[in-house]
Each structure stands twice: as C-alpha cells, then as structure tokens.
Amino acid sequence: MLVLISGITGMVGQPTAHEALANGHQVRGLGRSPQKLPKDIAESLESFVTIKDAYDIPALDEAVKGVDAIVSAPSGAFETALDGQILLLRAAERAGVKVWIEIPCSIVSGQANMFGSHQIFHAASWNYDWTNLPLGFHEGYNPLISFRNHAHLSSSIKPIYMFTGTIPEYVMYQPFLNNPFDTKAQTFSYFGTGDEVDIFTAVDDLAAYIVAAISEPNAADGGVRYVESFRVSMHQLADAYEKIHGVKLERKKLGTIDDVERLLQEGRDTTHPSNYNNYSSFIYLQIQLRGLCLHDSRDSRRWSHIKPISLEEWLKAHPDI
C-alpha cells in the first residue's frame, strides 16, 4: 500500500512513517521542509512533495496521485486544521484515493460519488474525545469538529477518527501546557485532588494504532477508534517518577477545579481566541478534572498484537522531562 503522510516532518508524521515502512508499506511525504526529516526516513520514501502552504492545490493534487491511503498530520494552526484538511479531502476525492487517515485533523480519500462509497478514510484526531464536547468548548477542537461535520455532509468518504487522550510527548515538552514536573526544583505541581485519572497515548503507540486502523478490511466504513498506552492519576505519575529516579518530589497543590475554571474564564475574557494557547492548559485541566472525555480503549484491546508502552517505560525513555 502506498501511504501519503501529510505533515510527515512533525511529531506524529515521523513515527507514523517509521511504522508504515516497518509494516512493508510505501510512504510518500507531503510537507514544506523535507530537510527536517531524519536521514533514515528521507532515504526510504517513495517520494516527497513540497507544499508552499495549505492552499497549494497543485502540490495537493500531485501528492495524492496514485496513493492508497492518506494520513493527515498537520500542525495545530487553524488554517491547516480546517482549510488544509478540506482542500486535501477534495484533492483525494478527485484522485479517487482509497484510504484516508487523519492525525490531529482529517484526511480523506475517495471519489465524490455520494452513494455506495467503499473508500477508506482514517481521521485520527489524536485528542480527547471531542464528540462529547459542544462546539466552542475548546477553541483548538473547533476546526476538527467543523471538519468532521462538513465531511459528513459533503463527502462520500467515511473517516476514521481516533481518540487518544493526552499525548505525553506533546504535553510534557510544551511550556504552555501542563507538565507537572520541575526537575530542577524537585517539585510536582497539580490542580484538583491529584487522584483524577487521565488517559495517555505515546506517539509510537499512536503510530502503530494508525497503521492498524488503515490496514483493516473494513477501514472504508469509517467510525471512531479509542486507544491508549496507559491511564494514571497525577499522584501515580509522581509516584512512578520518584521510584524510577530515586528522588522525592515536593508535591504542590495549585488549586481546585473551581480555580481552574476561574482562571480559564479570566483568560478568555482578556485574550483573543486566536491566542487561545495562552489559556489552553486550563481547558485541558477542566476536561481532565471533570472527567469529561474518559473513554473505553476498546480498540487497544482489539489490536492485541500492539504492545503499548507502560508509564514506567515511558518515563525511563524520557529522563529529560
């Protein structure tokens, strides 16, 4: 199978390329900066198509030509999450692509016949399960929800959406999000009781789940997939870190869920939504502490050949958090 990965140079695109290649697939890359790819991936690609921006229609048409599946792994920018996804979807429809995978947004494949479609589309959102959230609850999810609604109304392609909870490689390394560790000060900070559970999916596991999803015989039927690597509370996360590194962390409670929601409202009152990352950590905390998007990871169990990483293994592999 020839798989197009849009956004191949990114956090999700690269491990997905590794996984697809390891499973015997050909991989074509689509992105703006081929030089960002590590040598082992770059030398293994069927080809790389350079795109100027999300609106580069000729590049999109070239990229989708002859591919069997598309994985969309765009950046978190609103333009790529919605406009870019829709334009990639239309290019895939024109080309008659068979499979579509979406990473934080959506990718489509197939012709524009509205009835009797057998095309595959995996729209892996790789977020909390925003099907449980109304439009407007999370500014960053608005483009993803809007894309899903629009694709459902206007395309013959039936996407697969994959929900993962938190991606630790993202959260633990983004200064505006919720890395609770301060390893220099030996502190561990949290809101709530510290006993609320969160779901985590590591990027290498996510890549394996993506390839599994697009490889199934019924992938063209679309639908929602639920996966995880592990689920833990904040206190369990701190306990594991202490055990692995032989340290004792000072645990600092920063406030309650009411404090989180107050700080979130203050952020929205003083910040334009285009800069929502200034307060997005409080949106994620609200989701986590309220337990709004906990899911049953039924597809992780179904894909039993994939052995997800444990919390302890992940912490050992990332000593620099």
List the chain pLDDT tens, one digit each, 321 residues.
999 999 999 999 999 999 999 999 999 999 999 999 999 999 999 999 999 999 999 999 999 999 888 899 987 788 888 999 899 999 989 988 765 666 554 333 333 333 334 456 665 478 999 998 999 999 999 999 999 999 999 998 888 899 999 999 999 987 767 789 998 999 999 999 999 999 999 999 999 999 999 999 888 888 899 999 999 999 999 999 999 999 999 999 999 999 999 999 999 999 999 999 999 999 999 999 999 999 999 999 999 999 999 999 999 999 988
Number of neighbours of residue 275 by Cβ within 10 angstroms = 11
pLDDT given at position 105: 42
pLDDT given at position 74: 86
What CA–CA distance (Å, rounded) separates 97 from 111? 7
Residue 135 sits in the same domain as residue 12: yes
pLDDT given at position 36: 97
What CA–CA distance (Å, rounded) separates 185 from 115? 60
Q: What CATH number did the domain enclosing 19 receive?
A: 3.40.50.720
In the Cβ-directed half-sphere of 55, how many Cα atoms lie within 13 Å? 2
pLDDT given at position 178: 76
Residue 73 sits in the same domain as residue 208: yes
Which residue range(s) make up the domain with 58? 2-164+201-228+296-302
Nearby residues of 116 by Cβ (< 8 Å), 6 or more positions away: none
Where does residue 110 fall: left (phi above 0), alpha (psi -120 to 50 degrees), or beta otherwise?
left
* Structure-token pair, residue 25: 């697939």
Residue 92 sits in the same domain as residue 191: no
Residue 96 sits in the same domain as residue 113: yes
Residue 95 sits in the same domain as residue 184: no
What CA–CA distance (Å, rounded) separates 42 from 314? 26
The model's pTM is 0.91
Per the CB < 8 A criterion, the answer to whether 180 and 190 are in contact is yes
Overall size of the chain counted in residues: 321
Q: Each residue of 249-291: pLDDT tens digit?
A: 999 999 999 999 999 999 999 999 999 999 999 999 999 999 9
* Structure-token pair, residue 193: 């009781």
